[in-house]
Amino acid sequence: MSEDQTHVQEFFGARAADWDRKFPGDGPAFATAVAEFGLRPGDRVLDAGCGTGRAMTALRAAVGPTGTVLGADLTPQMLTAARRAGRDAEGALLLTDVARLPLRDEVLDAVFAAGLIAHLPDPGANLRELARVVRPGGRLALFHPIGRAALAARHGRELTADDMRAEHNLGPLLSGSGWHMTSYADQDDRFLALAERPRHP
C-alpha cells in the first residue's frame, strides 16, 4: 500500500459513515449530471471513486436492466456504507485503486467520476488508465455537485489560476491522457466536464 493510498483510506474512511448525511441535497445534481452524460440503455459504465455510490441509482436508471454499472473505490468503509444504503443493488462494488483497474482494455462505454480527480496522486497517468478501459468513442464525466469557487470558499482557500480543474488546465490535461474535452460547466451549484475518447487518436 502506497502512502497516497493510505492517506485516501484514512481521510475518507473517517468520513464514510456520515457521507450521505453531510450532503443530503445533492441527489438532483447527480441525476441531472447523469442525464446530461447521455448514457444509453445497455451501456457499461464505471463510477470511479464511487464512495457510497451516490451516482449509482441514476447510472442504473440510465443504462437500464441490460446495462452494467460498476462502482470502484479504494476506501473499504465507503463501500460498506454503499452496501448499507443498498447501492449494491444497482451494480457491482469493487474495492480497487482506479489507478490500476482490474478491467480489460476498452471494455466500458463510459466512466463517471464525482469528486475524484482532486484526490488522484498522478492525474495524467490516472486519467490515462480510465481511458484504457473505455472503448474509442466512449465518454468520461468529471462531476462535482458544487462549483470550483463555492468549493474553495467552503474550504476557506483561494481559487488560483493553477487549479487543475480550471478550463485552461483541464483541457490540456485531458488531451495529454487520451481524452478530448467536449464540454465544460463550472457554476456555483455544480461542476461538470465531459470528454470523449477519440476514435482516431
Alpha helix segments (H runs only) across 105-190: 123-132, 148-154, 167-175
DSSP 131-154: HHTEEEEEEEEEEESS-HHHHHHH
Among 43, 73, 90, 129, binds ligand SAM (CB under 6 A): 73
Give the nearer residue to ligand SAM in terms of CB position, either 5 or 180: 5
Residue with cell string 436492466:
65
Instruction: Give least dist CB 199 to ligand SAM, A.
Output: 27
Strands across the sheet containing 44-48: 92-95, 68-73, 44-48, 108-114, 134-144, 190-196, 180-187
| Of the candidate residues 74, 81, 134, 141, the single one contacting ligand SAM (CB under 6 A) | 74
Q: Which of 59, 81, 94, 99 binds ligand SAM (CB under 6 A)?
A: 99
Residue 75 in contact with ligand SAM, rule: CB under 6 A? yes
- Please pick, from the candidates 29, 59, 82, 116, the single residue that binds ligand SAM as defined by CB under 6 A: 116
Q: Work out how close the CB of 11 gets to ligand SAM at its nearest, in angstroms, rounded to a whole number.
A: 8
Nearer to ligand SAM by C-beta: 67 or 115?
115
> Which stretch, 67-75, 127-135, 149-157, 184-192, contacts ligand SAM (CB under 6 A)?
67-75
Q: What is the DSSP string of 23-73?
A: STT-HHHHHHHHHHHT--TT-EEEEET-TTTTTHHHHHHHH-TTSEEEEEE
With contacts defined by CB under 6 A, name the span among 31-39, 95-103, 153-161, 165-173 that binds ligand SAM. 95-103
Question: Smallest Cα–Cα separation from 114: which of 34, 168, 20, 14?
Answer: 34
Query: Phi and psi for 68 in degrees, rounded to 5?
Result: -125, 130
- The 118-157 contact track toward ligand SAM, x by CB under 6 A, reads -xx-------------------------------------
- For residue 78, which of 119, 110, 37, 109 has the smallest C-alpha distance? 119
Q: 24-53: which residues touch ligand SAM (CB under 6 A)?
A: 49-52
- Residue 99 phi, psi (nearest 5): -75, -15
Closest to ligand SAM by CB, 78 or 174? 78
Residues lying near ligand SAM in the complex (CB under 6 A): 8, 12, 49-52, 54, 72-75, 78, 97-99, 114-116, 119-120
